[in-house]
Amino acid sequence: MEVSTVPRTRGRPKLAPDAERRDEIVATAMQMFRQSGYAQLTTDAVAARCHISKRTLYKLFPSKAALITAIIDQHRQLMLRLPANYDDVPLDQALDLIFGNEIDDEADRERFAFLQLLFVEAIRHPELEEISEPHGKGVVLQLLADWIAHECARGRLNVPDPQDAARMLMDMVAGSITPSRDGRIAWVGSERRRAYVRECIRLFLSGAQVAR
């Protein structure tokens, strides 16, 4: 008779590690935000949807603001692929990758649909803008400025001020999705948006790239 040498697991099942549970909560909260907006995204609702206690939720996210910050952090990574190593990539291709210009049309529409919702909800709820401005746009500009400074140090770019250069480049690229006063974005289609961003990259590099 063959005897199993695998030990039995006893007692309660092992709890999910905090990092894994945190990711699951953020994914669920982002889905709820997409479906119902900022006002309906309460900690009670998130805890119920995730089948966890509020105590567990507050252990990982002490407030609704902390949860919204995590949602914005996750979405920001879809908008700007930094930090990352592009040292061996030509600058035009590097910026194309940094701005996520190669993703498929469906993913492109989804990330900008979320951005539009964020714009609209921030107009209705000023406290949301107080979170999204520093944790969204603020972090994006700093990451881009850091990358530009890195490329200046490597001798591939030459600009007087990386912070100013990052702001100028972002202002150009953002022109492809400039929202109206009510926060809505006139979607021009992924193909048109990609072409617009690539032209922005070409114009930026024509003034900033070091001639070889």
Do 48 and 147 lie in one domain? The reply is no
In a domain, 77, yes or no: no
Phi, psi (rounded to 5 degrees) for 194: -60, -45
Do 180 and 146 lie in one domain? The reply is yes
The pLDDT tens digits for 37-67 are 999 999 999 999 999 999 999 999 999 999 9
Lowest mean pLDDT among 85-94, 174-183, 184-193, 201-210: 174-183
Identify the CATH number of the domain in which residue 57 sits. 1.10.10.60
Do the Cβ atoms of 169 and 144 come closer than 8 Å? Answer: yes
Distance CA 5, CA 2 (A): 9
Contacts with 41 (C-beta within 8 Å, 6 or more apart), sequence order: 29, 32, 33, 64, 67, 68
Q: What is the CA angle 140-141-145, rounded to 5?
A: 120
Q: How many domains does the chain have?
A: 2
Distance CA 128, CA 188 (A): 26
Q: What is the pTM of this model?
A: 0.84
Kindly report the average pLDDT of the chain as a whole number.
Answer: 90
In a domain, 196, yes or no: yes
Domain that holds residue 42: 17-62
Do 192 and 107 lie in one domain? The reply is yes
In a domain, 70, yes or no: no
